[in-house]
Chains A and B, each alone.
Chain A
Amino acid sequence: MLDNLTILEASKLIDEKKVSALEITNSYLKKIEDSKKLNCFITVSHDKAVHAAKETDNRVSKNNRIGPMDGIPLAYKDLFCTKDTLTTASSKILSNFIPTYESTVTNNCINKGAITLGKLNCDEFAMGSTNKTSFYGPVVNPWKSLDSDEELVPGGSSGGSAASVAADLCIASIGTDTGGSIRQPASFTGAVGLKPTYGRVSRWGTIAFASSLDQAGPISKTVEDAAILLQTISGHDNKDSTSSQKPNEHYFSNLNSSVKNLKIGIPKEYMSDDLPLEIQNYWNEGKKILSENGAEIIEISLPHTKTALPAYYIIAPAEASSNLSRYDGVKYGLRTNEKNLIKMYESTRSDGFGDEVKRRIMIGTYVLSSGYYDAYYLKAQKIRSLIKKDFDNVFKDVNAILTPATPNTAFAIDKEEKDPVKNYLNDIFTVPINLAGLPAISIPFGLDKKGLPVGMQLITNSFEEQLLLNIAKNIQDSINFKNEPKCWWK
């Protein structure tokens, strides 16, 4: 009864007093303990979780349950600061960092009664799309190919957030998405991954990667759960000057899966011969479903799509190099003992950061350095305007856009990619959305011939998460994707 619970199902069980929050929590803690092979968790907050579950049960016994999140076990990407609980960003440089405050996102969940199971592994400082850059080792995808026993990547950077949901080590999780870091791993693991509009969710207390792109969001088993979680974590926050003042919406109670008379755009630039045939087929199936359900499918053009990845690989490293300058061995984190201050900085940072983080810091330093700023950083910001304008133009004609979430399905952890640029291509369908600040969701569509999940992406205009969730629910209900990975890891 306690397997593969959604938030809605668990909430009902708690409400009807069929199961206590403590029983559900203990069942998840046991599963986490039995699933170490997947390497999803960096920290398991056993005592915190049990304590919070008892508090929920206490409220339930007095008929004082706070709402649907009360007693729901969640886990968070290790990028969210959690008070008195180790928070590492999967980096050696923060491997001893215990925040004295709670991030707004986790605080919002805790205030609604959610239970913190622990902190999830990810790419170091969220830089990567394989989860292989983590100081704590790669997360293993619970899915395997039908024809091979090799371990696969869960995608990244929120690899632990996606794999833990797919393997049912938590009911749902929270990740962050700077260039696809929620949607790509959700797609690789058959989960639902939502990146909200930039500004919808407060970034306060979330370890910064690229501040103009970072946005937290849920990874869940269903669209309904994504709606409940978005409602839980979003809203204006005085502590984040880019947090939107738009009122929080009741995404779950307002869910309406009708797509009648909606116009759905299909961007021709996202189609290429390199796109695997099975992904093309699922894309076509998506068009068919939406059209059969009453939507109109329209071909659209986003002419600057090709410029998004190179622009992203200027803007994101530039902001990262600036954000990561705070790791200097003085105020917190790792320090290497040296007698000279500059040497102390250099050896602390060289010892504390992994290779991908160092590459991005150096690229960021380069594009921001005197003489290159206009040619790279300013240029990329101008390109960003062109990309945003492309989307503004098409949203005059369509309500939403349908694309594949990724150009591939999960691949082997052992696959070595020598050229960093090749790895960057994993995010080709997701990066433009971050540059334009739009909301987007990745939903599981089916399996490829190797038996691995394929995800599709829906995109709407800024702050139209309700419409996004409505269309996603329509697709979810039409497809009825129920595949769960075969358990090999216990």
Chain B
Amino acid sequence: MEFDKNSTIKLAKLARLSVNDNQLNSLEKDLKSILKFIDQLKEINTEDIDPTSNSLDQKLILRDDIAENTLSNEDLLKNVPESELGFFVVPKVIE
């Protein structure tokens, strides 16, 4: 599918970004240029190659599954834009 203005609008929506008409044109141009750049990889044969998600040759090390008190409620809420009774407050989602 050709990447166009509608793809840009859809992407912005998925990424939770609002984009005005002015930005839309330059964004579409930039994204097209980047996509063209990464599309070069299509020419590389990667059949039978396993993906690498990170370069470490070790298993992820998990800590023991024991509850710890790391951040207090008070500390967690220190940077919150809006809170009430120790909870995060967001705009109403249910009418």
Contacts and interface: CB of A to CB of B under 8 A. Distances in A.
* Range, interface on chain A: 35 or more
19 contacts: A198-B55, A242-B56, A242-B60, A325-B16, A330-B81, A341-B90, A346-B18, A349-B17, A350-B17, A358-B27, A359-B31, A362-B12, A363-B35, A366-B31, A382-B51, A384-B51, A388-B52, A436-B55, A437-B55
B50 interface: yes
A98 B56 contact: no
A310 B37 contact: yes
Interface string B58-88: 1011110000000100011011111000001
* Interface hub of A329, A353, A381, A438 (most chain B Cβ within 10 A): A381
Interface stretch (A169-177, A186-194, A372-380, A482-490): A372-380
A382 B90 contact: no
Contacts of B71: 100-101
Contact of B15 (A238, A314, A365, A462): A365
A381 B51 contact: yes
A421 B34 contact: yes
Contacts of A330: 80-81, 88, 90
A384 B79 contact: no
Interface in B1-54: 7-8, 11-12, 14-19, 27, 30-31, 33-42, 44, 46, 49-54
* Interface hub of A321, A359, A378, A382 (most chain B Cβ within 10 A): A382
A471 interface: no
A222 B93 CA distance: 56
Nearest to A389: B49
Interface string A376-413: 10111111111010000000000000000000000000
Interface of A: 96-101, 198-199, 212, 238, 241-245, 304, 307, 309-311, 313-314, 321, 325, 328-335, 338-347, 349-350, 353, 358-359, 361-363, 365-367, 369, 375-376, 378-386, 388, 419-421, 424, 435-438, 462
Given A340-B91, A421-B37, A307 B17 contact: no
Given A329-B81, A332-B80, A307 B44 contact: yes
* Interface hub of A101, A339, A363, A419 (most chain B Cβ within 10 A): A363
A127 B18 CA distance: 20
Contacts of B88: 330-331
Given A359-B27, A462-B55, A311 B16 contact: no
Nearest to B74: A100
B77 to A, nearest CB: 9
Interface of B: 7-8, 11-12, 14-19, 27, 30-31, 33-42, 44, 46, 49-58, 60-63, 71, 75-76, 78-82, 88, 90-93
Q: Is the interface of B mostly helix, strand, loop or mixed?
A: loop
Contact of A384 (B42, B52, B61, B75): B52
Contact of A420 (B11, B30, B58): B30
B33 to A, nearest CB: 5
Given A313-B38, A366-B7, A420-B30, 18 more contacts: A241-B60, A307-B41, A309-B37, A329-B81, A347-B18, A349-B18, A362-B15, A365-B14, A367-B38, A369-B14, A380-B41, A381-B52, A385-B52, A388-B55, A420-B33, A421-B33, A437-B56, A462-B57
A2 to B, nearest CB: 37
Contact of A341 (B12, B19, B36, B93): B93
A233 to B, nearest CB: 18
Contacts of A437: 54-56
A304 to B, nearest CB: 8
B17 A386 contact: no
A381 B34 contact: no
Contacts of A343: 18, 91
Kindly list the 9 A-B residue pairs having the minimum CB-CB distance in the complex, ordered from nearest. Answer: A437-B55, A381-B51, A332-B79, A335-B81, A382-B46, A100-B75, A346-B18, A212-B54, A382-B49
A325 B14 CA distance: 11
A358 B17 contact: yes
A362 B27 contact: yes
B53 A381 contact: yes
A306 B30 CA distance: 21
A350 B16 CA distance: 8
Contacts of A244: 56, 58
Contacts of A381: 51-53
A362 B8 CA distance: 8
